[in-house]
Amino acid sequence: MALQIVFFSIFFFVSFTIAQGVRTLNVRNYGAIVDGRTDDKKAFLRAWNDACYQNGGSIVYIPKGVYMVGSVEFAGPCRGPIMFLISGDLKAPIGPYSNVENWIGFQHVNNLIVKGGGTLDGQGPSAWPYNKCQKTNNCDPLPISIKFDFVTNSRIESIRSVNSKNVHLAIYGCNNVNVSKVDLLAPADSPNTDGIKISRSADIRITNSRIRTGDDCIAIISGSSNIDVSYVYCGPGHGISIGSLGKYKNEENVNGVTVRKCTLNGTDNGVRIKSWESPYAITASKFLFQDIFMENVRNPIIVDQTYCPHSPCNQETASYVQIQDVTYRNIWGTSSSQVAVSFECSKKFPCKNIVMTDVNLAIVGGEGPLQSSCSYVKGRSFGRQNPPPCF
Ligand SMILES: *[C@@H]1O[C@H](CO)[C@@H](O)[C@H](O)[C@H]1NC(C)=O
Ligand SMILES: *[C@@H]1O[C@H](CO)[C@@H](O)[C@H](O)[C@H]1NC(C)=O
């Protein structure tokens, strides 16, 4: 594994700097029409298929210009590493397209780099009015803008996503994927536009990114482990969330999440852990939230194990998700509500080993002193604490 990474780095250094043995496949040479109206999906796919067939590694190159691209899956496994270089701007088709899961998908690829500074415009305003998922559980979700399924040892960097119809970037079944310098943008009131959604994945790092959107900036759900989030700016949005968890059968544990050096500004939540009152038992453990600045955040620190965005949804009287070993360290800034710290844990599986060190928040607008609220939680606190802790 380590050797493979070393080899891979040397390969990219040598080949992509002096371009030896690497083929560049320009989508224009595959018939892409750069008018922002003609569907270029077939040209992109032909370039991808040639790249995927190269042993020596290749670059799929999308030069500057505006391209309309229908829903497309770039599938592996491929013979060599691929760089998908998006210098141009891609536009999704107008409308909901709820018959497809993703707009741009990459699946079963190893050693992929997606970069280039281009913008992916999901044309969300033409789709959001068709979103029924906010009101009912029986709905067809709109397409995700960029989806990685079973992608390994890969990176996505310097990409902009605007107005995704649904989630901007989703990572599923992946291993060792680094996300950096992504800029994700959608209006505060756009429905279900999570920034980055991670599930069933391990060793995922998100850094130096800015997320301004209508739903969670980052959502880390079932089966995620060893996730590292750092230097992320979030807001507007619903904050950085672990969960929601425990809604479905066959969910897997979430273990090992670090969120550090992040800024949350004007968000509904700061750092949140949420689970449903359903009978599916999993563990959510080993989380560290450190060096986080909050500005005007409604619920800066929140654990909500009675999560239910639209009732009725309770199948049980308590959540079966066990939350444990969670540390909050050096969190400061302002709260827009009085209850700045809230632990509403499960009465069946109370939160345990929660550690708070140096949490220093103040209220915006001066509505009086801040409070903590605690139910079914065991923890300890150290250092400075405002609001005063309830354990
Ligand atoms: C991702 O970043 C980590 C830490 O910097 C590094 O060890 C790893 O090799 C990177 N992975 C890829 C695929 O670039
Ligand atoms: C938070 O957002 C407000 C309003 O957009 C802006 O004026 C302020 O500079 C932001 N704060 C930070 C830390 O970015």
- Tell me the three state secondary structure of residue 48: helix
Per-residue b or e along 6-42, where b marks 16 or more CB atoms closer than 10 Å to that residue's CB: eeeeebbeebbeeeeebeebebbebebebeeeebbbe
Rg (CA), the chain: 22
Q: List active site positions.
A: 215, 238
Low-confidence ranges of the chain (pLDDT < 50): 1-19
281 and 253 Cβ atoms separated by less than 8 Å: no
pLDDT in tens, 316-340: 889 999 999 999 999 999 999 999 9
pTM recorded for the entire structure: 0.94
Task: Tell me the C-alpha distance between 109 and 55, whole Å.
Answer: 14
Nearest-atom number in ligand 2 for the CA of 263 is 13
Nearest-atom number in ligand 2 for the CA of 293 is 13
- The 8-class DSSP code of residue 50 comes to H
Task: Tell me the C-alpha distance between 313 and 341, whole Å.
Answer: 25
- Mention every residue, 6+ apart, whose C-beta is less than 8 A from residue 141: 98, 101, 133, 166, 192
Residue nearest to atom 2 of ligand 2 (CA): 265
Q: How many CA atoms lie within 13 A of 305 on its CB side?
A: 29
- At 13 the pLDDT is 43
- Mention every residue, 6+ apart, whose C-beta is less than 8 A from residue 53: 78, 79
Nearest-atom number in ligand 2 for the CA of 233 is 14
- Tell me the three state secondary structure of residue 284: strand
CB of residue 263 inside a 6 A radius of ligand 2: yes
- Mention every residue, 6+ apart, whose C-beta is less than 8 A from residue 277: 305, 306, 307, 308, 313, 314, 315, 316, 317, 318, 319, 346
- At 2 the pLDDT is 43
- Mention every residue, 6+ apart, whose C-beta is less than 8 A from residue 307: 243, 244, 274, 275, 276, 277, 319
Q: How far, in Å, from the CA of 126 to the mean position of ligand 2?
A: 29
Report which residue type is found at 160: R
CB within 6 Å of ligand 1 — which residues?
5, 153-155, 176, 178, 205
- At 68 the pLDDT is 98
With CA atoms as reference, report the closest residue to 168 among 141, 143, 188.
Answer: 143
Q: How far, in Å, from the CA of 160 to the mean position of ligand 1?
A: 21
Q: Which domains does the chain have, with CATH numbers?
A: 62-386 (2.160.20.10)
Q: How far, in Å, from the CA of 135 to the mean position of ligand 2?
A: 31
CB of residue 265 inside a 6 A radius of ligand 2: yes
Q: How far, in Å, from the CA of 18 to the mean position of ligand 2?
A: 43
Task: Tell me the C-alpha distance between 53 and 73, whole Å.
Answer: 16
